[in-house]
Structures are given as C-alpha cells and as structure tokens.
Structure 1
Amino acid sequence: MFLALFFGLFVVAAGALAYFFFTNKGKKQVPIHNHDWKPDIVYLYQFPRSVNMPNVSPFCLKVETFLKANKIPYEVRPLLMGRSQYGLLPFIELNGEHIADSQIIIHRLTEHFKTKTLLIPRDEAIARTIDRMTDNHTFLLLCQFKTLSSGTNDFFSMTLSEAGAPKLFIPIFAYFFRRKAANRVTGSLGHFSTEDFKMFLKKDYDAYRDLLGDQKFLFGDEINAVDCTVFGTLATALYHPAASYAKDLLKEEYPTLVAYLDRIRDQVFGEEFEKH
C-alpha cells in the first residue's frame, strides 16, 4: 500500500514538474500577489534564499544587489514554484504593477528611482556589452561547470534542500532542474568539448579582469548596475559550497576578481550575505 502510494506521488510529481519545466510558457497575464502594497516599496519575488548567500539564482541576486546598492526600499517574497509573466524568476511588484525579467526590472527601477547612471555614452555602451555577455554567455558557462560537468545533481540537491523543498521530492526536482539547465546550455552555446568550455570561461574571466584593472569597481569608485550583474553571476560560483571548475579557476588564477566580488559583497550586504 505504502509503495503504491509512494509510486503514485512520484508519478504525479514527475508529471507536474515535466509540465512545469518543459511546456512553452510565453507571455501570460499574472495577477498581482500583493494587493495591500505600499507606495514606492519594491516587492521582490524570487527563489528562497540559500544558507551561504541571499540567492543562488544570478538574476535574483543581481536584482537584490541593485536594490541594496541603491538603497531602494524593498521586501523579499520567496517563491519556489510561482513564476512571472515570462515563466521566470525574479519579478517585482511596484505600485501595483507586475514587472518581470531582471534586465527590465533594473531599467524600470533606474527610471523610477532616478538612480545614478554612467555619464559618458561610451562607458554606457561598454557597460551594456558587459551586461549582455554576463547574462547570455558567462551565466551559461557557469551552468555548465556548476551543474553539468560534475555528472551529478549535487548542486541542485544542495540548493533545493536549503530552500526547504520536501526531501521526498528533492531528487525529482534536481533531475528536472539539471535537465533544463542542460537543454539551455546546449541550445544557447552549442555542443563543445569540456576543454573548449574551459577556454570560453577563461576568456570571459580574462575580460572581467582586464576591464576591472586596478579600479575598485568596473567604472570607478561607485557600484554601477553592471557591477550588480557581474556580481550576481560570479558570486553564485564563488560562494556556493558546491565544488566546481568555475570556482577553482576563479580562486586560483583571478585574485583581483575575487577581491572585487568580496568588496561588493561586504559593501552591499555585509554580515547579511550569509544566513546565520
């Protein structure tokens, strides 16, 4: 009886997750979650925080870093299964409006709260290039090394456990998360050898190191929006306890990048970065 019930739950959970992860979401209407909102308070909907960092999602961490760095008042609303109108996390609600996609969120926050932007058009163009490389290339390379090259589901299992997912279903969740990551990496970057992926990652790390030079942050002494993007992505490799080539390479060959990430972590989050 128990075995039949367990198998039934397994099949239902697997079917639900397969539908959730692999059906085409597209844009859809999402009702406002918080109807009792306060003016100019940002309600940030993202994955539950990790023990070792505010979020293991680079895109969620990017947005929260931007909010904190610019002292924008916000409240975190953790979600495990809920998603935005684009089927992703994070999303925010601001003055009763649903705003999705980390790039769009930061653009809208910059406009609404009139945060500092780069004054020189060339700097803004360089920042835009870095931002897109980080989200659309480095992020996928880190997915390759954090979650796929190991041959196990350890990264997702550890992350889901910390997020409070039911223990019974963690292996199922982890399997589907890993499968989705594999599809995204190969669909966006292509099929390459491990050595080629390592070369790609090293070139990205080289670019960040050379752009940073001896500056405190990428464009001087103040944190800019693009610093939040780079931090959100690289921090999820550096500070997550799971072993990976991406983390080892960063720590062993890029001390200036590690120091840069530590500066952002300490200045923006301080002791709040890790959950005590």
Structure 2
Amino acid sequence: MLVKTNWDNIMNKLYIFSPGFGLRNISPFCLKMEMALTYLTIDFELIELNDPRKAPKAKLPYMELNGETLSDSEIMFEQLNAITDGKLYNGLTAEQKAIGTAFSRLAEDHLYWLLVASRWLEDDWFPHVDAAFFAPMPIPLRWIIPSIARKQVRKTLQLHGLGAHSREEMKAFARRDLQAISDAIGSKPFLLGNEISAFDFTVGSMLSGILDNKPDTWLSPIAREIDHLVDYTERVQQTIGVYGRIDP
C-alpha cells in the first residue's frame, strides 16, 4: 500500500504485521504509526513482515524514515515530531501533553497486555492467533513454534504481573482502564478537546484492536458497554481516514 502525499523524494517504509483477526493492522502500534504518518502527510509504503524477529529490535512496527531505521512507536513519534518542526504535537499545552502521555501509558503498558491475554491465553481464542501468526510456516515448524511462542507470551504476562490474575480479575482491570478513558473523553470529541491529537492515535488504535477483533475476545464486549468508546474510536479513524479493520 502506498500513501501518496507530497513530502520528499526518499520513500519511507513502515514495516507491520500481516492482516489478521479481521484487522488490516493486527497490532495497535502499527495502526497508530500509519495514522501519524497519514496525519503528517508523509509519503510511506506499508510492508508486511510475518516474522518480527527480523526487525531491528525483534518487534513491529519499525520504519525506514529518510534513510534512518527507527524502532519503537514512541521513538518514531518523537522523531516525526522533530523533523516536522513540532507538527505532531502542534498546539498542545504542557498539561495536555502530560494527560496524553499518562493515557498513552495506560493504553500501551497495561490495557495492551490485557488485549494480549484475551487473545493468547484463552484456549478457545488461541486458534485464531495460531492461524494469523503461524500459518505460513513450513512443516515441522508449523507444529512446534506456536506452542513455544504461547509459552513465551504466558511467561511475559507473568513477569508483567497481569498473568498472575484470573480472567475475572483481568476483566475488572480492563473495566477500570476503559472507564478512565471514557471519563477523560467525557463530552469532548477527542481525548484532549475539540481537535484530534497524536495521543488519539495511540488510544484510538488500541481501542480499535479491542473493538474490531473478529471474533470478539472477552475484552471486546466490555469496551462496547462503556459510554463514548465506540463512537470515539470510530471518530478517530474517520477523521484520519485510516481504519484498523479490513472493511471500514
């Protein structure tokens, strides 16, 4: 996919996961980067990479921007803001940036891992993970790697702390996270006010990954029950013209 804008003559490349779970961008971190680049009208090409171990930090997304390789979406955001003379965070006060940063941390360092748990730890949902991530692998790796990867994710969640909790306890964590986001939005169209900001890309992408999963995980109906979240997520995607789901 090529997004045509009018930046410079160097073709920038954003490396993302292949589609899955009814999503074009299987990772909220990939989706938020696509939103940011589109918002900034920077030319870029989307390149699917099935094996994140081939990425510089063994995770996706990563990108080649003006000939420089960047990993981690937060680092990419900071670089994008620098090379566009502050356009990514244009007009935000110090207080708004503080609030946006706090909700980005909530979304990416807590809510995200609840999304991972809802996909990877549930026996009735893991076959969708298996098909999305491991189907292209040759035999016998196709038989071996999914189990190894699932054990690694389970271990990571244990180290994070969330993996020690029951599903019902994780649901309660999720409700509090999602309610906090809803309360922060309130009657505003976006997280920080009337105008969309880079922090909406982070929060909106995470919510898209939760709401637009096909089929639902246990996290999806919880998000739909919370006021504002469905409308807010749709508004963010519609405003930028970039959607997480395959059929917008």
Q: Please give the TM-score of this superposition, normalised by the length of structure 2.
A: 0.84
Unaligned 5+ segments in structure 1 are 1-37
Q: 1:137 aligns with which of 110, 118, 128?
A: 110
Q: 1:231 to 1:40 in 2, by over 3 A?
A: farther
Q: 1:112 aligns with which of 67, 83, 107?
A: 83
Unaligned 5+ segments in structure 2 are 1-7
2:178 is equivalent to residue 205 of structure 1: yes
User: Which structure has the bigger radius of gyration?
Assistant: 1
Count of equivalent residues: 236
Partner of 2:196: 223
Cα-to-partner distance string for 1:109-154 (whole Å, 9 max, x where unaligned) = 1111232414311111111111112111110111112221345522
2:39 is equivalent to residue 85 of structure 1: no
* Cα pair 1:50 1:56 within 8 Å, conserved: yes
State the SS of the aligned residue for 1:76.
strand
Give the whole-Å Cα distance in 1 for the aligned partners of 2:131 and 2:43: 30
State the SS of the aligned residue for 1:87.
coil
* Cα pair 2:50 2:133 within 8 Å, conserved: no
Which moves more between the two structures, 237-246 or 100-109? 237-246
Q: 1:242 to 1:271 in 2, by over 3 A?
A: closer
1:1-276 aligned at under 5 Å gives the runs: 39=9, 41-50=11-20, 52-82=22-52, 83-114=54-85, 115-117=87-89, 118-150=91-123, 152-160=125-133, 165-166=136-137, 170=142, 172-190=144-162, 191-251=164-224, 253-269=225-241, 273-274=245-246
For the aligned residue pairs, the C-alpha RMSD in angstroms reads 2.5
Cα-to-partner distance string for 1:148-205 (whole Å, 9 max, x where unaligned) = 13455223124237xx724855554443443232122111124112222111111100
TM superposition shift of 1:210: 0.4
* Cα pair 2:16 2:61 within 8 Å, conserved: yes
TM superposition shift of 1:51: 7.2
Determine which structure has the larger helix proportion and give its number.
1
Give the whole-Å Cα distance in 2 for the aligned partners of 1:170 and 1:208: 39
TM superposition shift of 1:100: 0.6
* Amino acid across the alignment from 1:135: E
Identity of aligned residues (%): 25
Give the whole-Å Cα distance in 2 for the aligned partners of 1:156 and 1:272: 17
